[in-house]
Amino acid sequence: MKLSLISTGILASVSAVSAGLINLGSGDCSFSLSTKIANLVHLGHAEGNAGVCSVGQEGVGIIAGIFSFSTKTTDILKVVNLYQQTASYAGEFDQLMPVLQKCAETASGTLVGLDGFCESWTKAAANKDFITSQLKVAEGKYQDPVSAIVSKLEIVHPITQAILYDTAIVDGLSNVPGVLDSIISATNLKFTKDVLGTSGNTLLINGLKIDELEWVKTLLDVRQGLGIAKDVGTINIYRNLLNNGLINLGPVLDIVDAVGSLVTLNCSPLIDL
């Protein structure tokens, strides 16, 4: 069965898997689609680019790779460390390691000593082991934490999982204002009594029985209420999917991008190895 919608400039179509609940074996699809949606909205293209590298201002650091890893966090160092453990490592980052380690320790976002980093990163991106290293870091950074939340709350719908992935990817995970952990906490505080719904799954939130789809709609409201401009595009996409009952994501999702072109997304990996 093919379901489709055209609303507020966003067109989406999803091949419905079933009318009932499906288990989270589709989690990889949710992660792939949510990441591609975020890329499409924020970067203008859906697929991952392992070799992309952008030098920001002093204090911002360098952003690089499939998931916009940063020298201001431990992400890039983790990727390089994994790559160095592979047989195909060609020494691209040997001279940069002391600086990368210092950047990760201080979170300063400094550019001092990182001359030539982007050249090394782009060169390494031709190596499949380097791409695999990026994917492994992303799995630990996004998939594992979100999967833990999904298990704890006993979430069953793919769209809810995709929205949690999107929040983690776009806003971050740490327990500070405006990121996933805090957004979930703020969402839970919105409920003061049981809220029934038609999703077929009930979450236990602070001792209250809350319909899963009512919960995730409230989470989107909380995100929107934060007024973070970068969130608007993906929030609108997921809100339209929810409003039209498209909750079993995959295997195909069609979206009109910012310039009006139809883009077909699927559950394939973000980047081909």
DSSP state string for 96-126? GHHHHHHHHHH-----TT-TTHHHHHHHHTT
Number of domains composing the chain: 2
Parent domain of 66: 53-124
Residue 263 is predicted with a pLDDT of 86
Domain-terminating residue out of 124, 152, 178: 124
Same domain, 65 and 164: no
178-199 tens-digit pLDDT:
689 999 999 999 999 999 999 9
In 14-32, which positions are buried (b, 16+ CB within 10 angstroms) versus exposed (e)? Answer: beebeeeeeebebbebbbb
Which residue carries 């806003």 as its tokens?
171
In a domain, residue 250? The reply is yes
Alpha carbons 141 and 124: distance in angstroms, whole number: 21
Last residue of a domain, one of 61, 95, 124: 124
Separation CA 91–CA 65 (nearest Å): 18
237 shares a domain with 159: yes
The pair phi, psi for residue 259, each rounded to 5°, is -100, 10
Distance CA 192, CA 182 (A): 18
Q: Are residues 42 and 156 in the same domain?
A: yes
On the question of a cis peptide bond just before residue 251, with omega within 30 degrees of 0, the verdict is yes
85 and 166 inside one domain = no
Q: Does 248 lie in the same domain as 201?
A: yes
Tell me if 92 is assigned to some domain: yes
- Whether residues 60 and 36 share a domain: the answer is no
Both 148 and 260 in a single domain? yes
What are the phi and psi torsion angles at 262 (to 5°)? -80, 125
Ranges in the chain, pLDDT < 50: 1-26
Asked if residue 200 and residue 226 are part of one domain, the reply reads yes
d(CA 34, CA 243): 17
Could you say which of 98, 124, 150 is where a domain stops? 124
Question: Is residue 192 in some structural domain?
Answer: yes
> What does each C-alpha distance from 191 to 137, 162, 208, 218, 219 come to in angstroms?
35, 22, 8, 9, 11
Task: Report helix angle 27-43 to 232-243, nearest 10.
Answer: 130
Answer for the pair 169, 37: CB distance below 8 angstroms, yes or no.
Answer: no
Tell whether 90 and 204 lie within a shared domain.
no
Q: How many CB atoms lie within 10 A of CB 42?
A: 14
Residues 176 and 254 occupy one common structural domain: yes
